[in-house]
């Protein structure tokens, strides 16, 4: 081994452990996220409608129409 090989080996070791830690965090994050649609569990349909309107997913006309339908169904 040459005189500067310890620098290369040190860099390789730091890079290896950094990639390993990053991989663990990515895997853990993907395992702990909720499946799509689960964020609505436990909420009333009216609360879900309010949140969709607040996020801009539906316009005011659609919001009012669906709100009336939900209120009529009670």
Dihedral angle sign, alpha carbons of residues 52, 53, 55, 56: positive
pLDDT at 66: 94
Mean pLDDT of the chain: 86
pLDDT in tens, 19-46: 999 999 998 887 766 666 666 667 788 9
**Whole-model pTM over 0.85:** no
Structure tokens at 28: 């853990």
């Amino acid at each position: 081994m040459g005189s500067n090989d310890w620098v290369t080996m040190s860099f390789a070791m730091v890079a290896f452990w950094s990639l390993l830690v990053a991989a663990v965090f990515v895997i853990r994050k993907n395992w702990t996220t909720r499946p799509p649609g689960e964020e609505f569990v436990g909420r009333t349909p009216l609360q879900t409608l309010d949140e969709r309107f607040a996020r801009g997913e539906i316009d005011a006309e659609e919001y009012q129409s669906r709100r009336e339908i939900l209120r009529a169904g009670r």
